[in-house]
Amino acid sequence: MANTSNNRVGYARVSTGAQDLALQIDALEKAGCVKIFTDQASGAKASRPGLDAALEYLRPGDTLVCWKLDRVGRSTSHLIALIGDLRDREVGFASLTEAIDTGTAAGELLFTVMAALAQFERSLIQERTRAGLEAARSRGAKPGRKPSLSRDQVAVVRSMHRAGSHSVSGIAAVVGVSRATVYRALSG
């Protein structure tokens, strides 16, 4: 049998040093959080040590509580993935401002609808991208990144390499590209 606890664990985040965590911390304490983790970082940053520590601390039966959804998720898809991961770990999620609690039937339904909408949005974006690429190709365009080296430059790179007169770094310096580009030209 799994060792489960029923702790409410808080997470608060502000974007800049000029902002104050007090409002969020007060709300999390009032909501019964036994421990609160914090970050002072942009929501777009992938590295948030406070959130990482909170996720590490959580045990089955616990609930991660935030003041507002945008304090936790970098994007809708990131938030849904995070909540899905919590669900897999048997950890609940609650947002005080939006009154979402995945520990309730209504909260679970709302999360499921959010996940379905996010998947629908991803599918629409993929569909539009494919249609746009096909339309461009039908007009004769060659979508994608332009090659770093022309065919003549690739021939020069290969010739220099075969001659053994230059190192890969030397070839890159002569042609004016990175070593990785030289390696790609040699392997292609």
Q: Is 91 left (phi over 0), alpha (psi -120 to 50) or beta?
A: beta
Q: Is 99 left (phi over 0), alpha (psi -120 to 50) or beta?
A: left
Q: Please enumerate in sequence order all residues whose Cβ is within 8 A of that of 102, keeping only pairs 6 or more positions apart, or say none.
A: 83, 86, 87, 92, 93, 94, 108, 111
Q: Please enumerate in sequence order all residues whose Cβ is within 8 A of that of 8, keeping only pairs 6 or more positions apart, or say none.
A: 31, 32, 33, 34, 62, 63, 65, 94
Token pair recorded at residue 106 = 């209504």
Give the residue numbers annotated as catalytic, written as ranges: 15
